[in-house]
Amino acid sequence: MFDFTKNPGHLPLLSQYVAEACCIHLGEEKRYLFEARLGTIISESGARDIPDFIAKAKADATGRLRDKIIDSMTTHETYWFRDTRPWEALEKTILPEFGNQLRRGEKHRIRILSAACSSGQEPYSIALLLHKLQADGLLAGVNLSAFEIIAFDISPGTLFLASTGRYSQLEISRGLPDYWKNSYFDPTPSNTWTLKAPVRSMVSFKRRNLQDDFTSLGVFDLVLCRNVAIYFEEHFKHDLFNRLAQNIFKDGLLMLGGTESLLSHQNLFQAEQIGGSFFYRKKI
pLDDT tens digits, one per residue of 161-212? 899 999 999 899 888 989 999 999 999 999 999 999 999 999 999 988 888 8
Residue 30: the pLDDT is 63
Residue 10: the pLDDT is 83
Residues 157, 260 within the same domain = yes
Q: What is the CATH number of the domain that holds 205?
A: 3.40.50.150
Q: Mean pLDDT score of the chain, rounded to an integer? A: 87
Residue 138: the pLDDT is 95
Residue 2 lies in a domain: no
Residues 105, 179 within the same domain = yes
Residues 183, 271 within the same domain = yes
pLDDT over 90 for what percent of the chain?
Answer: 49
Mean pLDDT over residues 44-68, rounded? 86
Residue 124: the pLDDT is 97
Residues 62, 19 within the same domain = yes
pTM to 2 decimal places: 0.81
Residue 231: the pLDDT is 64
**Going by C-beta distance under 8 Å and a sequence separation of 6 or more, which residues neighbour residue 254?**
222, 223, 224, 225, 241, 244, 245, 248, 262, 269, 279, 280, 281, 282
121 φ, ψ to 5°?
-60, -35
Residues 111, 18 within the same domain = no
Q: Final residue of a domain: which of 73, 95, 114?
A: 73
How many domains is the chain partitioned into structurally? 2
Mean pLDDT over residues 48-60, rounded? 88
Mean pLDDT over residues 262-284, rounded? 86
Residues 56, 91 within the same domain = no
CA 19 from chain center: how many Å? 18
Tell me the per-residue pLDDT of 129-143, one tens digit each, with 9 for 90 and over. 999 999 999 999 999
Residue 166: the pLDDT is 95
Residue 78 lies in a domain: no
Mean pLDDT over residues 73-100, rounded? 88
DSSP string, the chain: ---TTS-GGGHHHHHHHHHHHHS----GGGHHHHHHHHHHHHHHHT-SSHHHHHHHHHH-TT-HHHHHHHHHHS-----TT-SHHHHHHIIIIIHHHHHHHHHTTS-S-EEEEEES-TTTHHHHHHHHHHHHHHHTTTTTT--GGGEEEEEEES-HHHHHHHHHTEEEHHHHHTT--HHHHHHHEEEETTTEEEE-HHHHTTEEEEE--TTS--GGG--EEEEE--S-GGGS-HHHHHHHHHHHHTTEEEEEEEE--TT---GGGTTTEEEEEETTEEEEEE--
Tell me the per-residue pLDDT of 32-43, one tens digit each, with 9 for 90 and over. 677 777 878 888
Residues 102, 242 within the same domain = yes
pLDDT band at 90 (very low <50, low <70, confident <90, very high): very high
Residues 193, 101 within the same domain = yes
Residue 239: the pLDDT is 85
Residues 216, 267 within the same domain = yes
Residues 127, 249 within the same domain = yes
Mean pLDDT over residues 230-257, rounded? 86
Residue 51 lies in a domain: yes
Residues 201, 68 within the same domain = no
Q: 14 lies in which domain range?
A: 8-73
Residues 42, 95 within the same domain = no
Q: Final residue of a domain: which of 21, 39, 73?
A: 73
Report the alpha-carbon distance of residue 13 to residue 57 in Å, rounded: 13
